[in-house]
Structure 1
Amino acid sequence: MKVAIIMGSDSDWPILKPAVKLLEEFGIGAEVIVASAHRTPAKVHDFVTTAPERGVRVFIAAAGAAAHLPGVVASLTTLPVVGVPINSTALNGFDALLSIVQMPSGIPVGTMAVNGAKNAAIFAAQIIGVSNKDVQDKLSFHRQAMIDEVEEKAAKVLANQ
């Protein structure tokens, strides 16, 4: 079981790299590619349409500016697509956010916050976890670790009042 991560530019990698690490923590493989909906459409097509036979269950597609990549990916597959708008323009990613969230009826893309790759990885794991108890357990452990971290920070604040 894998998540395919496709980004429009290598400059998106620093934002997406933590998502790969998080998927690994959940025991989910990641297949990463740089491909452009506009400049390398055949590469995008081939990568997406052959993904199921490689064990891909969910796509994370990241793009900035006009951000067509997540919608193009969604148009080529019935697998879930999670879009990550990238802050790459003077509009601070708002252009990409609106582009991804406004998919036409029938071609949905689950859209995360601008630069929200970590949440995209968690969401992809939740999708896979619907039918995988091991992933569900790892998600629960991750959630508990977040709770514990907040409680530790709260205790420090109370101790230093």
Structure 2
Amino acid sequence: MAPNARTGIQHAIWAQLVSGAMNGRALWWEDGYGIYFPALGMPWVRKYTDVEAPVVRFVEGVDMTGFKPIAARASGKIFGAALGNEEMIIGWYRDASCEPPDWNLQPVVSQQTVTLTIPGMATNWQVDFYSTKTGNGIISSTTVTQQGDTITLTLPDFADDIAFKVHVQE
């Protein structure tokens, strides 16, 4: 296995979440076919038994009824997606330079923004940014005001990747 394979696996699982297609660890070869070749697949499965735990904690209690892909534009150093409805949006973005096979990470990714097209009519939104290493550790929070049909999130500095939840502010 590649030295930084864990990073790639984590990215794949977070990407599954925000694509709307999360169905567990359905990583094509390793989980789908690796079980039929125990000498190859099972050591891999055993090595990364905890990798989806932060994603599970992140979505705990989130009602995804009516969630759809949210149109988003990201600044140049990040890559990701968002999913949501009129009341809530979840998103995940990663260091765009972190690609296989080495998954080299920048020490810090800063001054990046994500502009989301909002499906509802709410004006004010609460944004909570989360650590993707734990899934439940809020890094910071802010509020944003809808401008036309969009909101723009300024991401806090991060390394590797970051997740967020955006709620209608009451």
Q: TM-score, normalised by structure 2?
A: 0.27
Higher relative strand content: 2
Higher relative helix content: 1
